[in-house]
Amino acid sequence: MSKTSRPVPPRAPTLEDVARAAGLSSMTVSRALNTPQLVRPKTVEKVLAAVKATGYIPNALAGGLASRRSKLIAVVVPQINNSMFVDTIQSISDELAVRGYHMLLCVAGYAQQTEAELVATLLSRRPDGIVLTGIHHSTELKRVILNASVPVVEIWDLTPTPLDMLVGFSHEKVGEATADYLLRKGYKRPGLLWTVDNRAALRKSGLCEALARNDIREPAFVDVSLPARFASGRQGLRDLLKKGSFDVIVCSSDTLAQGAIVEAQASGLRVPQDLAVIGFGDLDFAADTHPSITTVSVDRQVIGQRAATLLADRIEGLPQQETIVDIGFHFVERDSA
Amino acid sequence: MSKTSRPVPPRAPTLEDVARAAGLSSMTVSRALNTPQLVRPKTVEKVLAAVKATGYIPNALAGGLASRRSKLIAVVVPQINNSMFVDTIQSISDELAVRGYHMLLCVAGYAQQTEAELVATLLSRRPDGIVLTGIHHSTELKRVILNASVPVVEIWDLTPTPLDMLVGFSHEKVGEATADYLLRKGYKRPGLLWTVDNRAALRKSGLCEALARNDIREPAFVDVSLPARFASGRQGLRDLLKKGSFDVIVCSSDTLAQGAIVEAQASGLRVPQDLAVIGFGDLDFAADTHPSITTVSVDRQVIGQRAATLLADRIEGLPQQETIVDIGFHFVERDSA
DNA sequence: TTGTAGGCGTTATCAA
DNA sequence: TTGATAACGCCTACAA
């Protein structure tokens, strides 16, 4: 009165179970699933039927262990809830999905120590590739990652000496382009509303040095904590206006610019006549605010798409052209400055 | 003249390598790393030294295969670049990190078919738990997921019959609360600016039915595609104003509300005197726009935090209280309505 | 085109 | 407290 029929297997069906059901060897089933072109069509059919019958779901842990390819890409970003990065993350995810990879997403915060530790634990998943945000990493992280000899793409920055591959643009040049615009438009008294992160700092120094070369000395600025928010833009402008008088406010992101514009208007200043405002990023609202925001456009989706493509190509041994990609940027003149 | 010294092992060091370096068995090394309290302190020291010396990084694929616990949580969301979800994702990620799990993030789009397929491939990673957005899933998805008998948390919605666990709130009630507010404030001619997703639809029907019970018939509305954007708010209001005249515009998100407010102001309407606007979500800018946005506040971070906690507790066999969590919401009266 | 043998790196289990 | 052995489920390599 005990084990009469099936003892109800509590464990998930394996390749072996499918093979048994199909009257084949497990190896043939594996081939039918992964490289069907190497298997007789009729056999493939049998296998697929058996898969459906058994409810088989492959075990990628076992597969990855055996094949040494996990089909996993680890992505490390400082923050998710940051308008700058979400679009990039989404496009990485989309492109990876097309290529058959899954995305392991890790939020590192802006502390280097944390990033090094995170990457170490991520490597235990044996990802086929890693995406890192930025190019400033602790030596510990570099050591670990180079030692693992896993393909890496750094994004959102530019350097002639990346760890491996890179997709980004020059933040210094963004700063310079902004300075050029200010000079061309005849602005003389700029004020800065600036978030405190590495990339923003580069844009700031590019801007300030270009201004200095034209005899405009270090502008007054207000630091803003991350992520950039509308409210910080409003508050930041209030703080800035206490420090002096300005004809233009340059913001390290459109979100701050949007806040600054509203704050200016709320305090009776006309934008751009009384106070001009410049943003960065060309976020989706920038063209539609009132006035629309003069800003620097960066294709955040392309960054993700190219990064994912670089990794997948490298992993799959496909020929690669450039592995250092400057996606550039362009200045967008609108109504706010 | 060949293999004199180390033949440079191209493969990553394994437990075996560490064991050799420490003069122990691999099993002891494994214990020292995972359950140090079961190993003599001095032995643990030796192991840690050997780990550092060899540069050992555990292989979670092998570990997961052997232990049947992957320490991986799969998270499925419709979109990342959607202000509503990012905060939840970030808090899931944060909480999971604390608990020692990694997050596999998948973007499903809003098509059910896609979600079912995605989850099937996700299950091949043998995640210890899954987070699904919403409660509307294809029967295929339900079958697959129940069959896998993996802990599941559905988020951002409420139902007495979840697949497993659930953290959310009632969208119908949000709609009703909004209707109550409209009635209390004496608004008679509402117009709707509404995104086309399941949850928004629930809020809409909750709103419309409550209005109907008070003899206000189905309001005019304009559909907006996802993700909700500032520009859609502006354009949407233009479209809506062609359909009739209104004393209040109810938006399915604060982002739309922000756009609608700017559009109203740009066309000479005072908010709220000429036209009131109500949003949803209490996004970070809602309190600081001009006028500030009357909206419904939802703690998006708590959703993520609770979801992660529920999963981790369940996985680790910890006692659980409620597995259906209504985090509620509250109406926030500000200046726009 | 299909099958066999062996190993991927870890942990569960039992023994010492 | 430590070690030996046998899975875990799949894929590489080779053989038929």
CA/C1' separation B260–C10 (Å): 58
CA/C1' separation A72–C15 (Å): 39
Average pLDDT over residues B314-319: 93
| pLDDT tens profile A164-180 | 999 999 999 999 999 99
Task: Write out the DSSP string of B251-308.
Answer: ESSHHHHHHHHHHHHHTT--TTTT-EEE-SB--TTTTTSSSPPBEEE--HHHHHHHHH
Task: Please tell me the predicted confidence (pLDDT) of residue A141.
Answer: 92
| pLDDT tens profile B132-159 | 999 999 999 999 999 999 999 999 999 9
Task: Write out the DSSP string of B10-71.
Answer: -SPP-HHHHHHHHTS-HHHHHHHHH-GGGS-HHHHHHHHHHHHHHT----HHHHHHHHS---
| pLDDT tens profile A218-239 | 888 999 998 899 999 999 999 9
| pLDDT tens profile A80-109 | 888 899 999 999 999 999 999 999 999 988
Reply yes or no on whether the pLDDT at A325 is more than 90: yes
Compute the distance between CA of residue B4 and CA of residue B173 in angstroms, rounded to an integer.
Answer: 76
B contacts of A300 (beta carbons < 8 Å): none
Residues 6+ apart with CB under 8 A from A250: A178, A182, A190, A191, A192, A193, A207, A219, A278
CA/C1' separation B66–D7 (Å): 8
Q: List strand residue ranges (DSSP E) for A196-308, in order.
A: 220-224, 248-251, 276-278, 295-297
pLDDT bracket for residue B81 (50, 70, 90): confident
Compute the distance between CA of residue B126 and CA of residue B22 in angstroms, rounded to an integer.
Answer: 33
Interface test with B, best of A80, A95, A237 (most B CBs within 10 A): A80
Q: How far is CA A63 from the centre of its chain?
A: 28
Task: Please tell me the predicted confidence (pLDDT) of residue B10.
Answer: 64
Residue A73, CA distances (Å) to B4, B268, B321 in order: 38, 51, 36
* H/E stretch holding B178: helix B171-185
Phi, psi of A279 (to 5 degrees): -115, -160
Reply yes or no on whether the pLDDT at A1 is more than 60: no
Nucleic acid strand D within 7 Å of B62 CB: yes
Task: Please tell me the predicted confidence (pLDDT) of residue A6.
Answer: 37
Reply yes or no on whether the pLDDT at B85 is more than 50: yes
Selection from B203, B128, B119 nearest residue B168 by Cα = B203
Task: Please tell me the predicted confidence (pLDDT) of residue B8.
Answer: 45
Task: Please tell me the predicted confidence (pLDDT) of residue B295.
Answer: 98
| pLDDT tens profile A127-148 | 999 999 999 999 999 999 999 9
pTM over 0.85: yes
Residue A163 DSSP SS3: coil
Average pLDDT over residues A16-30: 95
Percent of chain B exceeding pLDDT 70 equals 97
Residue A245 DSSP SS3: coil
Residue B149 gets the label, from left (phi > 0), alpha (psi -120 to 50) or beta, of left
Average pLDDT over residues B324-330: 97
A282 Cα to chain B: minimum distance (Å) = 13
Nucleic acid strand C within 7 Å of B232 CB: no
pLDDT bracket for residue A10 (50, 70, 90): low
Compute the distance between CA of residue A65 and CA of residue A62 in angstroms, rounded to an integer.
Answer: 5
